[in-house]
Chain A
Amino acid sequence: MRKFNKTLITIFLLTSTQAILSAQTSNQSSGYLFYSLLGVGVLVALGAIITLADNLLKVEASKVGIDVFKKDIGILPSLSNYLTGKKPEFVGENSYHKLTRGYDLKLSGQASGAVEDVRVTRFAVCPTDFRGMSPIPKVVVEVGDTVKAGDALFFDKKNPEVIYTAPVSGEIIEVNRGEKRSIIEVVILADLVQQHKVFSVPSASASRTEITQFLQESGAWALLNQRPYDIVPPIGDIPRDIYISTFDTAPLAPDANVIISGKEVYFQKGLEVLGLLTSGSVHLGLDGRKPESVSSAFTQATGVAKHWFAGKHPAGNVGVQIHHTKPIKSGQNVWTLGVQEVISIGKLFSDGVLDCTRIVALAGSKLSAPKYVRTYVGAQIGELLGGIIKEDGKDSRIISGDVLSGKQKTTNQYLGYKDDQVTVIAEGNEYELFGWLLPIKPRPSISNTFPNFLFPDYKFEGDTNTHGEARAFVVSGQYEEVLPMNIYPQHLMKAILANDFEKMEGLGIQELSEEDIALCEFVCTSKIPLQKILREGLDMVQSQG
């Protein structure tokens, strides 16, 4: 009825304005005015009737349980049907998402060539890699003990069912403590020949409880990641869906085809196991930028929903993929995994051993020979790099992960639990004369005030200089330009800074993780630490339940 009232009011207003106007204007133009206003009035009335009918149809449709946002219900054809064009042929039955926003940060030092085996002696599992774990977990081994891969190392006292196990076999040589006696590293000196604890795999007809118990006991539960908040999933939670992105668009990220080659069977097995754990389905994000070269392990995977994503970074981020297929609402949770974690789970259920082999890309402009190496979870970074850092007089920044959302490490520290990349770039701790106005060295930027847009394929060396000082929010719209999600990052950040919970949730904080917002932080003219702010917001929302 509201629509009808509106129409009536509009018509009334139009006629009355016409009356007023015609009183003032000359006779000549009042005729035109009358007819044009009448025309507008008729159009508005027609529009109102059509919208009303359309809405009534939608109301009826939702009453009988049809999802009106997915299906094209109503008498008005959906505009997006005409605008989005046809799906490419390779997509077939799967969904296809072309993402126009984003930015590929092109850096030099991409890892290439065959995967090399490196000899790393020290490995560590760091409780700090698992968000939300209490600072002093219960360590069940002592220095001097020998462990096999898959033996328990520690567990969180809040959550004792989830056991964190050794990725390699060897001798426990250190349990390092940080501030307030918190445990930061449990270090294993690895055996030359690896030994694995052999588990008895649940039978094919095992219940979900048996499977989850097996995952918890073997330590594979820690490979799962729950969104929102990016935590190890609490016991008893059943995820709405499980998402796996099979490609990484982050700068210098490893090529998924290198990772998967030779392990296709385990990957498929892993997908089958994961399919039993969710009430929804397992979703696979496929690389739509170069569909012909995507490994058949991904394109031919069975029992999963496949989605193609074509676009710049962060199209490969699982958060973006979830947003475009089935966004996370508040109260829902989904699990996400990387390809290598799925392979580990597949191998656990095939062979009964926890195989934490990881293929890691060593990349970045500060490395003399960027390459792929085969190692295990938690390898010591110094040994992993093994002297390939260039000695050019500049300090190096070693990052476990990519330059956008990785963690800074020293050579004595260890690869992050879920990282498959180590990036080394130069520190930018130098003053630069008029560096803000006339930069001497090329630097990556989305701004067209740099000549970068003329050289789209240039690969930057890049350094860690902030290129300016922190300021208040000034520029608007630049975050949206690199975030292919229907989210307003700047306003979300302001809501977080203002502790406005309702607005945070309304603006979709539960859909985001640091890696999704990292590119926004990169482009920020005001140099605002967005990832830090987002995490504070996520912590607040999490603690409020």
Chain B
Amino acid sequence: MSNIKYLLLVSRQGKVRLMQWYTPLTPKQKTKIINDLTPLILARKPKMCNILEYNDHKVVYRRYASLYFICGITNEQDNELLTLEIIHRFVETMDTYFGNVCELDIIFHFDKAYDILNELIMCDGSMAESSKKEILNNVHAMDAIESNDHLDRILS
């Protein structure tokens, strides 16, 4: 069962590009996690495994070009290997949405990245939809309503 605690997107330079917390934590704790994990993960070599232990839980990460996708997961409950696949699903979906996604897409359109993420993962970090097509259809539908709104306003 997936029970992701948090998802962070961190660049090669150690800048946070996106973060979503699925468990309530104080700002202090959040900053600590980011500050601890970033150097730890950036320092890892490509041949090392993508799982590490941090405090009381495990962290699974995956690197795509200049971006690191980092997931904190619940011990015993989460499946480390499946978490890697969830990350990959997220990336694939963004890739189709933006058309060959790159770091800049996520920086300038972080709201879209969040929209996709919210369709994929819900509530306390559980996978809500496994079909890429289904997610994209819904995000596109919502985008369409938004632009209709704009249109209406201009016409009125």
Task: Answer whether A and B are interacting partners.
Answer: no
Residues of B whose CB lies within 8 Å of any CB of A are none
